[in-house]
Amino acid sequence: MNMHEPERPLLEVDGLEVSFAARRRTRTKVLKGVSFDIRPAETFGLVGESGSGKTTIGRAVLGLVPVQAGTITFDGERIERAAPRRRRELSRDLQVIFQDPYTSLNPSFSIGDTLMEPLIAQGTTVREARGRVGELLERVRLPADAADRLPREFSGGQRQRVAIARALALRPKLIVCDEPVSALDLTTQHTVLELLLEIQDQTAVSYLFVSHDLSVVRAMSHRVAVIHQGELVETGEADQVTARPEHPYTRALMLSAPVADVHEQRRRRRELAQETGAS
Ligand SMILES: Nc1ncnc2c1ncn2[C@@H]1O[C@H](COP(=O)(O)OP(=O)(O)OP(=O)(O)O)[C@@H](O)[C@H]1O
């Protein structure tokens, strides 16, 4: 490839609109013309407060909610209205890790069966799939004997490692990470985030990384988009958006994030009060 030619994005979302049925035959617009792209091996962070529409963007990319307008192009293919069969095929390249490791794993499946399921569904032989389970457990640093055990025998952090291993089973190009560490304590959050970074270094997978936590998004992402009431109000390099936020909402989001220093916390509260008082 020519070094000066920009790489084709892996995912392009353009003018995405999603609405849900509300009362009295009206619809609520949850996404209002959302556009962004993600390059190969890039982490694109989406940050915004609860209800802003982050999860809906991830779900639209995965084909889990109907799209009213706009396009979603994945690896050169329009997928916003892909048929169910094509969707199943696309799951080879497009995977997800959900927030809650307690509900996202089938409690009656052993870890080995959980990891084998996507492989068998895509036509891998049982013998090959067993071998791959060992590799996957090693990659997420779980012991080989985890394969024979049930999810209830594992902690939240270990379960999230299983969910990561399952998402990796088919060697996807993009993983939608929807609040992947929000249900974990701080130390466990750190090790899971480190694992995601290490996997990206090794596999060049891209992440669409959704979180309400700006510090987590900043630590993980190359570029960041800030979503507010269904609209992307600011998109840019992670350092730029977090160090020099341009949009008032981004500034408010930054100022309201908790910090370890109590004096800094108070200073930010005053600044936030001034900002919101002024607007
Ligand atoms: N299936 C649905 N039917 C109706 N309304 C929905 C549906 N899914 C989401 N919504 C609404 O869309 C809005 C955005 O929800 P979404 O889950 O995308 O937000 P979010 O930013 O991910 O918030 P959170 O962090 O709380 O999950 C919310 O007002 C929510 O109530």
Q: How far apart are CA 35 and CA 225, in angstroms?
A: 10
Q: Is the CB of 52 under 6 A from ligand 1?
A: yes
Asked if residue 227 is part of any domain, the answer here is: yes
Report d(CA 140, CA 148) in Å as an integer: 16
Per-residue pLDDT tens digits for 65-100: 999 999 999 999 999 999 999 999 999 999 999 998
- At a CB cut-off of 8 Å and minimum separation 6, what does 93 contact? 74, 75, 170, 172, 173, 174
* One domain, residues 187 and 75: yes
d(CA 159, CA 93): 22
58 contacts: CB under 8 Å, gap ≥ 6? 46, 96, 176, 178, 208, 210
CA of residue 61 to ligand 1 center, whole Å:
15
- Whether 234 maps to a domain, the answer reads yes
Backbone φ, ψ for residue 155 (5° rounding):
-75, 170
| Distance in angstroms (rounded) separating the CA atoms of residues 174 and 166 | 13
CA-to-CA distance for 13 and 125, rounded, in angstroms? 35
Quote the Cα angle for 159-165-171, to 5°: 160
Residue 7 binned pLDDT confidence (cut-offs 50, 70, 90): confident
For 135, 139, 168, the CA distances from 196, given in Å and listed in that order, are: 16, 11, 11
Which residue's CA is minimally distant from atom 16 of ligand 1?
A: 53
Cα-to-centroid distance, 57 and ligand 1 (Å): 10
Tell me which of 46, 54, 176 to substitute to probe ligand 1's pocket, judged by most ligand atoms within 8 Å of the beta carbon.
54
Same domain, 106 and 229: no
Whether 3 maps to a domain, the answer reads: no
Does residue 1 belong to any structural domain of this protein? no
Q: Domain tally for the chain? A: 3
**CATH code, 223:** 3.40.50.300
Q: For residue 17, report the distance from its CA to the centre of ligand 1, in Å.
A: 13
Ligand 1: centre distance to CA 10 (Å): 25
30 lines ligand 1 (CB under 6 A): yes
**What mean pLDDT do residues 180-187 have?**
90
Q: Per-residue pLDDT averaged across 209-231, rounded? A: 94
Q: pLDDT class for 243, splitting at 50, 70, 90? A: confident
Q: Which domain holds residue 271?
A: 247-279
- Atom 25 of ligand 1 has which residue's CA nearest to it? 50
- Ligand 1 atom nearest 20 alpha carbon: 4
Q: In this structure, which residue's CA is closest to atom 18 in ligand 1?
A: 53
**Structural domain includes residue 226:** yes
Residue 172's pLDDT band, with cuts at 50, 70 and 90, is: very high
Residue 275 within a domain:
yes
Q: What is the pLDDT of residues 94-140, one digit of tens each?
A: 999 999 888 889 999 999 999 999 999 989 999 999 999 999 999 99
- Least Cα distance to 40 among 4, 66, 67, 6 occurs for 6
Indicate if ligand 1 lies below 6 Å from the C-beta of 230.
Answer: no
